[in-house]
Amino acid sequence: MINRALQQTMRHTLRVGGRMLGAGTGQRCLSGLRSGQLFTEDGSEFAQHESLLKEASLYVHWPFCLKRCSYCNFNKYIPKDDNNHIVSQCLQQEVDTLLQLSKVSCVTSVFFGGGTPSLAHPSTVSDILEAISRRTSLADEAEVSLEVNPTPEGRTKLKDFSHAGVNRFSIGLQSLLDEDLTRLGRDHNAHQALRTVEDARKLCPGKVSVDIMFRRPGQSTASWEAELSELLRACDDHVSLYQLTPERGTLLFKQLQSAQVTLPDDHETADMYESARRMLHQHGFLQYEVSNFARNSAVSHHNLSYWKGRQYIGVGPGAHGRFVPLGEGGTHREARTQTLEPDVWIREVQQGGHATRRRIQLGHLELLEEVLVMGLRMTEGITHEHWQLFSPQLTLCDIFNSSTDVQEFLRCGHLTLDDGGLRCSWNGLALLDSMLPALLLQLERQIHPKAPR
């Protein structure tokens, strides 16, 4: 029921526990673009707010790692040769081409993810920021994040990255237990991780995030709570919690299949999530999304732009994007994926300025599906104003009031639909995956009432 492009987005941007649903819905043709408004064939508006077209965030994928972690199936490669310089040049070229294609006048945030972008030379960051500024505006206060692996090398480069323009670090701790780090195939230890967080906090106070995973092999709720206590003594104002997901093709997946390792069961996993939410809350962190917690308003503006259905441009091998290619007369938003393999990606960028491998046009329903699925991940949910940006004609109440399933979610207190919009309750957030099929079905019924099912 959920569209293919959305499945990819969920994998790409959420990186945690999101269950994939079935594929494929019909698309609606668009007839034209008038003063920043998109229209469907029958003339009804479907995305009309000009700021949706003028702005985008930018994701830059650095595809190299020093080694493979046992659980990771992200698009990453262990490089045979040092081709950093050429990759950096191609990233700048792709930024330039796709900015031109999107015609956005402002890049609101930049995120260097990977792979291991802290392996890149810091000049890659400054060169890409300059490439953006040559083509469009990048606000002085724009959030520029970089994922850092907390190895000694990562730590010593922090200062140079900060001089290059990074103002927010996202540090991949994964665990604070050396034994677990070894088992996960990480190339750092807990001491190195804590020193990296300390140094990053000196450079970017209040702008350091840490990634930590739970449901690790052999983990218990008690040891997780002890680990979180240690984390809370060391961390800054942002924490991302990832539920370890066994991915096909990884060493962890094989180890699980051959029963070499076991993961905590669903019940224990739910306990771990709940204890983390509680402990973070007690330490002043507000949960603002299923996996993300911030205090002192230190939210990730870049990730919020995904959850709020804003445009984003993805550059680098395997990067994903969502934008209207106005520069070539495009009239509707596309889900775009760049070529995966770095050598092929380099060739394509050198030949054609960019290496977009796949483009899927998003119809009205598909756009609303994304807004719904992404929006409900945020604790503030989907406000009426936010929904109206994408659905000027059908309100949240028009769509969901007639569904008995949704009425049941509201009655149980898992969902709320009121003047503030549609959102999950504390309990509902943990159950979001199980509510989505009914919500998406209802959306489809209302948008395409006559479609066969």
Ligand X SMILES: C[S@@+](CC[C@H](N)C(=O)[O-])C[C@H]1O[C@@H](n2cnc3c(N)ncnc32)[C@H](O)[C@@H]1O
Contact residues for ligand SF4, defined by CB under 6 A: 65, 68-69, 72, 74, 76, 114-116, 149, 172
The site map against ligand X for 254-293 (x = CB under 6 A) is ----------------------------------------
CB of 243 to ligand X, least distance (A): 6
Biggest CA-to-CA distance, the chain: 61
Residue 383 binds which entry of ligand SF4, ligand X, none, CB below 5-8 Å type-dependent: none
Query: In terms of CB distance, is 314 or 330 closer to ligand SF4?
Result: 314
Torsion of CA 123, 124, 128, 129, to 10 degrees: -40
72 binds ligand X (CB under 6 A): yes
Residue with tokens 């190299």: 64
Which residues are within 8 A (CB) of 283 and not within 5 positions of it... i.e. 6 or more apart?
Answer: 232, 295
CB of 114 to ligand SF4, least distance (A): 5
247 binds ligand X (CB under 6 A): yes
CB of 72 to ligand X, least distance (A): 4
CB of 204 to ligand SF4, least distance (A): 20
| Beta pairing partners, 24 | none
Query: In terms of CB distance, is 150 or 321 closer to ligand X?
Result: 150
Say if residues 72 and 332 touch (Cβ distance below 8 Å).
Answer: no
Residue with tokens 């992200």: 74
387 binds ligand X (CB under 6 A): no
Tokens representing 24 are 């494929």
Query: In terms of CB distance, is 46 or 169 closer to ligand X?
Result: 169
Please report, as residue ranges, which positions from 290 to 349 form the binding site for ligand X (by CB under 6 A). none
Please report, as residue ranges, which positions from 5 to 44 form the binding site for ligand X (by CB under 6 A). 15-16
Burial call 65-98: b when 16+ CB within 10 Å, e when fewer: beeebbbbbbbbeeeeeeebeebbbbbbbbbbbb
Query: In terms of CB distance, is 174 or 287 closer to ligand X?
Result: 174
Query: In terms of CB distance, is 135 or 188 closer to ligand SF4?
Result: 188
Q: Are strands 238-243 and 106-114 parallel, antiparallel or unpaired?
A: unpaired
Query: In terms of CB distance, is 72 or 417 closer to ligand SF4?
Result: 72
Say if residues 71 and 105 touch (Cβ distance below 8 Å).
Answer: no
75 binds ligand X (CB under 6 A): no
172 binds ligand X (CB under 6 A): yes
Residue with tokens 């990634």: 211
d(CA 92, CA 256): 41
Choosing from 18, 63, 114, 165, the residue that interacts with ligand X (CB under 6 A) is 114
Query: In terms of CB distance, is 115 or 381 closer to ligand SF4?
Result: 115
Q: Which has the closest alpha carbon to 303: 209, 214, 181, 428?
A: 209
177 binds ligand X (CB under 6 A): no
d(CA 17, CA 325): 31
Q: Which has the closest alpha carbon to 295: 305, 304, 306, 286?
A: 286
Residue 245 binds which entry of ligand SF4, ligand X, none, CB below 5-8 Å type-dependent: ligand X
- What DSSP letter does each residue of 59-87 carry, written as one string? EEEE-B-SS--TT--SS-B--SS--HHHH
Residue ranges binding ligand X (CB under 6 A)? 15-16, 71-72, 74, 114, 116, 147, 149, 172, 174, 211, 213, 242, 244-245, 247
